[in-house]
Amino acid sequence: MIGIVMKSTIKKLFGYSAMVLGSALVAGLTTYTLMEKNGVNETVVAVQQEGFAMPTALFDNKPAQPVDLTGAAENSVHAVVHIKSTQLGRTHTVQQMPDLFDFFFGDGMGRQQQVRTQPRVGFGSGVIISKDGYIVTNNHVIEGADEIDVKLNDNREYKGKLIGADPNTDLALVKIEGDDFSVVPIGDSDALKVGEWVLAVGNPFNLTSTVTAGIVSAKARSLGVYNGGIESFIQTDAAINQGNSGGALVNARGELVGINAVLSSPTGAYAGYGFAIPVSIMTKVVDDLKEFGAVQRAILGVSGYDLGDERTKDKDLGVVEGVYVADVTDGSGAKAAGIEPGDVIVNIAGKKVHNMAELQENIAKHRPGDKVEVTVVRGKKEKHLNVTLKNMQGNTEVVKKVELDVLGAAFKPIDDDMKRHLGVNYGLQVTGLDKGKLADAGIKKGFVILKVNGVKITSEDDLAKVLKEANQSPERALFISGYYTSGRRANYAVDLADGE
């Protein structure tokens, strides 16, 4: 009986197949009916999918499987470290207001008191990116630290050495001694898509090895938190709290796509969104710090704003996305290539530019001297221009890391007697001179530095900070003012680029 039914079934199937433009639905239903009689109805879905290439989701009644993030979490927690940064106590001189006793019996300037501040301790996270112990973290995690302590997920502890830092991107590179450390593989933040699953791994509130999950909510966000620095954040709803700074943002494959950096919240605690620096920026900064000790920052040489800004509202530009060029810097690569105010930048180095944050991110991947093609819309027509990127000094030379020893001098804060003698309440005295920038500028031993580039100098730390900032400025110069012990006031200019 079964053989007869199957024979009949085959005949019917061949009959339907022979019909010109036969209804696929009828064929499917007939197949279902015949196979049901033979007890094999569970294969119907596969037959329909082969015949019509229908998506499985339309027919498959199996429960959907969630994205498995356990592998990504397991791999990344071992390469995310806890960082403790300590700024040792400092001695400061506090000038008190003069009272009647000072007026009649003293010098009328008020008394001075030495105050010793308590050590300042901060906590954050870092990501091991190489087996020999290079760690990426945020600049604000280690800024001003005298000591850096690194604790691994397995509780091993190391002393960290600062290799270099870049306040403009809020990134820093730290090194611990050892080998064969667990690392997070570097991913491609450019390929990251909005809606993609990500994990934030770090040490919020000193809770080590904490993993939170979320999605990419947006890309190329600019928040204005870096005071003119480079901002093109990955926005995520994975929970990021205090202590997560410097930690890893990884994709579902466990690849590093960002360094967690900013928490946007009205309360200071997680309120829905966090922001990470994309690895496309991080990789370039790390390479520069390793090779040169300082970031080789390329600039295009334009200022402007996003289309959609109120300032472009009434302009008929022929394009709806891009960066409107308001001004072009003299001597810049943009000026030399022919970019003009009123142009709209829509593409750079083969990548579309939707806003200023994306433009900054793309430029940040390059070094001075790199040649890039920039596409602008001018008069509603596209123009392709070849631009040679330059640095802040308007050239393509390598900017080297500058330490205090380049000045060729020894320093000490002035004591109370010297303060009274000169009638000042702060200053840093040159106590010794060797070959270096200060001697070249004509400064003599005993000179008391009061200000450098308009900043009050009370310690070597103050001087080092101003020196670092000046080395990255267009002028690359120090303008120093102060007194000699004779009371003679003097001013000097120090050229940091001279002799390189």
Q: Which residues are catalytic?
A: 140, 170, 245
Structural tokens at position 104: 């009649």
Helix H or strand E encompassing 440: helix 437-441
- SS3 state at 31: helix
Q: How many CB atoms lie within 10 A of CB 32?
A: 14
What residues have CB less than 8 Å from 360, skipping those under 6 apart? Answer: 222, 230, 231, 232
Residue in 260, 277, 124 with CA at minimum distance from that of residue 204: 124
Q: Can you tell me the distance from the alpha carbon of 346 to that of 334, in angstroms, rounded to the nearest whole number?
A: 14
71: phi then psi, degrees, rounded to nearest 5:
-65, -45
Residue 148 near residue 176 (C-beta atoms within 8 A): no
**Residue among 381, 319, 384 nearest 350 (CA):** 384
Residue among 302, 304, 299, 303 at smallest CA distance from 365? 299
Q: Crossing angle for the helix pair 279-292 and 356-364, nearest 10 degrees?
A: 30
Alpha-carbon span 274 to 216, nearest angstrom: 10
Tokens found for residue 236? 């995520």
Residue 54 to residue 431: CA distance in whole angstroms: 83
Q: Which residues contact 2 (CB under 8 A, 6 or more apart)?
A: 38
Strand, helix or coil for residue 408:
coil
